[in-house]
């Protein structure tokens, strides 16, 4: 679609309100955070304005590199799991009757209304030894005795996927609804089984949407700091957990700010790379 | 039997019967057009033949083999959809090669077949173009070529030409018919355009409300419609009520027409094509008196609307044959029994 470029100053007027909101609630706080990340920390809980690289220097250690690596890996895994579950699920959902679709949508939206704390404790109960799902498996004779599945990495991953899945489905839904159903039918008349049609026609046709969803879930998962604490061991703590720890419990604002800025930069870098790779593939095709 | 057989095929959607116990036999190599108003069940019937919908009851046989429950991808058929359904993420060549690629055919074989098909549809050299860069007519051809990649036993087309402009559509109709004759493939086209059906088909199947009203050659359908629906739907016609008088003569618009006879000697309807209606001088022997109410001069033909005792009759002739008609002029309308078709009311 072609659109006219705004010509006069008045044409930009509709942008004024969002621009003000973005400046006041995003650009200014983020600027403050960047500034604070260069400040000098005062022992005893406060900081003085300065321009030092101490905070970034402290960050350059094997420990933090490890935490950063784990955080990125966890976010990527959450994104991949969400898309791997979300795409087939949403595809089925769009083929259901209007009624079934509404029922599912209401259920998904109600998951969104749950706070992260409730999700965390619900899963920790579900995965516990005393009251968890392993007791059910024991009852039907599949297991010898109940075991604790939490804390641990699978527990963190499960809960984070659970939390991010409704967003994934809501983002995928419009694109999948608009997908021409005759594309799959055409593939079937050309000799593709329904499964083959899904992989050779539906997935490739949705490439851009899937990439955008991966990026969205990745960023969403990167910011999660409660679930790793509730369901994980210290080695499963993400950078977001450490940032919270520094900012709130250690009262080291400059260091927390430095870590946050670094995380933003790494995230932006990864998103740019992904988009670039996606664009390049598109151009090749 | 070689060819396609539909044996009392029925499809219900809840309480609505889309296809009502249809029986049809299509010999191998025939070009069939299913024609009917929208919602008459023609597309549902086509989808059942393709296996995209399952019949509620009845059987579909291809070359004597029952394929009613065979899944679509195991029936060897090619289908062109109304939306064409070309894969947007693939090029022209990749679209055409798709059936071979998913079967894991070697690259050289794929390329050879794509080149063959592109030559057949006069698009050689277009293999590497994205489908989005093609014109409507070119996309149409690509969709046809893709459906023919596997050399299917059955070629199905659902309103294939409806997206094209009138001129291109007429050209494609001829091309499609020639292609079908060249390949000798059993072809079924669903359309609501009767011109399209008349141009292409060996057999026209007229459907209404889920039932086949008549299945015959285009000429037969036009000359000998089976009922008033077919007569009215195919081309334009004059439907005139007919009655039988005490002496057993057929009477229409107050004029006895010798040579016509209502079945059972009661009431019936006469169908006369406008080009078969003759206009003569008023008061001629055996003519129905009328008054010209409107003249539509189309250059090539001239349509005269005549009011005969409240019934409007349309006569079509060439302007050279009728230079004299004018609005308000009294004329005589002659219904020649040899061109009248008597139908049940």
- Within A95-146, residue ranges assigned H as helices are 98-112, 116-126, 133-139
d(CA A41, CA A32): 15
| Interchain pair A205, B87: CB under 8 A | yes
| Interchain pair A189, B73: CB under 8 A | yes
Q: What is the DSSP string of B291-329?
A: EEEEEEE-SS-EEEEEEETTEEEEEEE-TTT-TT--TT-
The Cα of A97 is separated from the nearest Cα of chain B by a number of Å equal to: 14
Nearest CA in chain B to A204: B89
Compare CB distances from A205 to B72, B78, B88 and report the shortest one's residue.
B88
- Within B9-71, residue ranges assigned H as helices are 42-50
Per-residue pLDDT for chain B (345 aa), expressed as one digit of tens each?
578 999 999 999 988 989 999 999 999 999 999 998 888 889 999 999 999 999 999 999 998 889 998 999 998 899 999 989 999 889 999 999 999 999 888 999 999 999 999 998 888 889 899 988 888 889 989 999 999 999 898 999 998 888 788 888 888 888 889 999 988 999 999 998 888 888 889 999 999 999 999 999 999 999 899 989 999 888 888 998 888 877 777 888 878 887 777 777 678 888 999 988 888 888 777 788 888 999 888 888 888 999 988 888 898 888 777 667 788 888 888 888 888 888 887
| Interchain pair A186, B85: CB under 8 A | yes
How much is the average pLDDT of A166-193? 91
Q: Which residues contact A74 (CB under 8 A, 6 or more apart)?
A: A156, A157, A160, A221, A228, A236, A238
Nearest CA in chain B to A201: B87
Which residues of A fall within a CB distance of 8 Å from B51? Answer: 188
Question: Cα-atom radius of gyration of chain B, to the nearest Å?
Answer: 25
The Cα of B311 is separated from the nearest Cα of chain A by a number of Å equal to: 47
- Residues forming beta bridges with residue B305, ordered by sequence position: B294, B314
| Interchain pair B72, A188: CB under 8 A | yes
Q: Which residues contact A100 (CB under 8 A, 6 or more apart)?
A: A93
d(CA A90, CA A249): 41
| Interchain pair B72, A204: CB under 8 A | no
Q: Report pTM.
A: 0.77
Q: Can you tell me which residue has the tokens 């900081």?
A: A47
B150 touches chain A (CB under 8 A): yes
The pLDDT assigned to A217 comes to 92
d(CA B195, CA B204): 11
What are the structural domain ranges in chain B?
3-231, 236-343
d(CA A155, CA A92): 27
Phi, psi values for residue B103, rounded to 5°: -90, -5
User: Residue A283's pLDDT band (boundaries 50, 70, 90)?
Assistant: low
| Interchain pair B87, A186: CB under 8 A | yes
- Greater confidence (A76 vs A148) lies with A76
Identify the residue among B43, B46, B72 best suited for mutation to test binding to A, counting A beta carbons within 10 A and taking the highest: B72
Q: Can you tell me which residue has the tokens 């049809």?
A: B24
The Cα of A85 is separated from the nearest Cα of chain B by a number of Å equal to: 23
Q: Are A157 and A78 in contact (CB under 8 A)?
A: yes
Give domain A76-179+207-237's CATH number out of 3.40.50.2000, 1.10.287.610, 1.10.3720.10, 1.10.357.10: 1.10.3720.10
Compare CB distances from B89 to A186, A197, A207 and report the shortest one's residue.
A207
Residues A14-69: tens digit of each pLDDT: 888 999 999 889 899 889 888 888 888 777 667 777 777 777 888 788 888 888 88
CB < 8 Å from A in window 31-70 of B: 50-52
Q: Are A198 and A91 in contact (CB under 8 A)?
A: yes
d(CA A185, CA B36): 23
Identify the residue among A189, A196, A204, A285 best suited for mutation to test binding to B, counting B beta carbons within 10 A and taking the highest: A189
Q: Are B218 and B188 in contact (CB under 8 A)?
A: no
Q: Are A42 and A248 in contact (CB under 8 A)?
A: no
Phi, psi values for residue B55, rounded to 5°: -65, 150
d(CA A159, CA A165): 10
Q: Which helix (H) or strand (E) holds B191?
A: strand B186-191
| Interchain pair B73, A182: CB under 8 A | no
What are the structural domain ranges in chain A?
36-57+251-285, 76-179+207-237
Q: Do domains B3-231 and B236-343 have the same CATH topology?
A: no
- Nearest Cα residue to B98 out of A85, A145, A183, A95: A183
Give domain B236-343's CATH number out of 3.40.50.1100, 1.10.3080.10, 3.30.43.10, 2.40.50.100: 2.40.50.100
Question: Cα-atom radius of gyration of chain A, to the nearest Å?
Answer: 23
Structure tokens at B126: 């277009």
Residues B50-106: tens digit of each pLDDT: 999 999 999 999 988 899 989 999 988 999 999 899 998 899 999 999 999 998 889
B81 touches chain A (CB under 8 A): yes
The Cα of B90 is separated from the nearest Cα of chain A by a number of Å equal to: 8
Inform me whether the pLDDT recorded for A75 exceeds 60. yes
d(CA B309, CA A235): 99
Fold (topology level) of B3-231: Rossmann fold (3.40.50)
- Nearest Cα residue to B305 out of B274, B340, B335: B274
Which residues of A fall within a CB distance of 8 Å from B73? Answer: 188-194, 196-197
> Chains A, B: CB contacts under 8 A, how many?
68
Which residues of B fall within a CB distance of 8 Å from A185? Answer: 52, 72, 79, 81, 85
């Amino acid at each position: 679609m072609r659109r006219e470029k705004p010509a006069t100053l008045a044409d930009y007027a509709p942008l004024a309100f969002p621009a003000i909101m973005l400046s006041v609630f995003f650009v200014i706080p983020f600027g403050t955070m960047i500034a604070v990340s260069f400040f000098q920390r005062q022992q005893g809980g406060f900081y003085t304005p300065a321009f030092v690289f101490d905070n970034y220097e402290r960050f350059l250690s094997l420990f933090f590199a490890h935490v950063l690596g784990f955080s990125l890996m966890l976010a990527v895994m959450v994104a991949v799991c969400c898309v791997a579950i979300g795409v087939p699920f949403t595809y089925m959902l769009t083929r259901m009757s209007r009624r079934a679709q509404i029922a599912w949508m209401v259920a998904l939206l109600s998951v969104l209304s749950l706070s992260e704390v409730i999700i965390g404790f619900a899963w920790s109960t579900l995965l516990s030894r005393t009251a968890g799902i392993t007791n059910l498996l024991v009852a039907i004779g599949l297991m010898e005795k109940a075991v604790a599945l939490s804390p641990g990495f699978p527990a963190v991953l499960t809960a984070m996927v659970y939390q991010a899945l409704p967003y994934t489905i809501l983002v995928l839904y419009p694109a999948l609804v608009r997908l021409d159903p005759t594309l799959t039918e055409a593939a079937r008349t050309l000799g593709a089984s329904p499964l083959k049609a899904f992989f050779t026609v539906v997935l490739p046709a949705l490439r851009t949407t899937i990439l955008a969803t991966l990026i969205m879930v990745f960023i969403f998962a990167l910011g999660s700091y409660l679930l790793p604490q509730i369901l994980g061991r210290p080695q499963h703590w993400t950078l977001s957990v450490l940032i919270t720890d520094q900012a709130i419990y250690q009262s080291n604002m400059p260091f927390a700010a430095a870590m946050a800025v670094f995380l933003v930069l790494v995230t932006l870098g990864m998103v740019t790379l992904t988009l670039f790779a996606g664009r390049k593939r598109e151009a090749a095709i | 039997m070689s060819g396609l057989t539909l044996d009392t095929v029925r499809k219900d959607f809840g309480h609505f019967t889309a296809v009502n116990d249809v029986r049809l036999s299509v010999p191998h190599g025939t070009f069939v057009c299913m024609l009917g108003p929208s919602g008459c069940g023609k597309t549902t019937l086509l989808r059942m033949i393709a296996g995209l919908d399952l019949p509620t009851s009845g059987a579909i046989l291809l070359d004597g083999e029952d394929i009613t429950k065979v899944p679509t991808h195991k029936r060897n058929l090619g289908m062109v959809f109304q939306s064409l359904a070309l894969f947007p993420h693939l090029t022209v060549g990749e679209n055409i090669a798709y059936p071979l690629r998913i079967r894991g055919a070697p690259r050289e074989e794929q390329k050879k077949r794509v080149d063959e098909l592109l030559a057949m549809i006069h698009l050689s050299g277009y293999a590497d173009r994205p489908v989005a860069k093609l014109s409507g007519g070119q996309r149409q051809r690509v969709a046809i070529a893709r459906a023919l990649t596997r050399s299917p036993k059955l070629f199905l087309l659902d309103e294939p030409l409806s997206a094209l402009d009138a001129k291109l559509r007429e050209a494609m109709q001829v091309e499609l018919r020639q292609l079908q004759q060249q390949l000798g493939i059993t072809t079924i086209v669903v359309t609501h355009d009767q011109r399209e059906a008349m141009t292409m088909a060996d057999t026209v199947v007229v459907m209404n409300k889920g039932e086949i009203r008549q299945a015959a050659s285009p000429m037969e359908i036009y000359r000998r419609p089976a009922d008033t629906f077919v007569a009215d739907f195919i081309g334009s016609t004059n439907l005139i009520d007919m009655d039988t008088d005490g002496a057993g003569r057929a009477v229409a618009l107050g004029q006895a027409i010798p040579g016509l006879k209502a079945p059972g000697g009661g009431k019936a309807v006469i169908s006369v094509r406008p080009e078969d209606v003759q206009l003569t001088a008023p008061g001629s022997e055996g003519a129905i008196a009328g008054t010209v109410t409107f003249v539509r001069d189309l250059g090539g033909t001239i349509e005269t609307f005549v009011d005969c005792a409240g019934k409007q009759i349309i006569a079509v002739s060439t302007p050279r044959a009728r230079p004299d008609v004018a609005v308000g002029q009294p004329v005589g309308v002659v219904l020649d029994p040899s061109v009248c078709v008597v139908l049940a009311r």
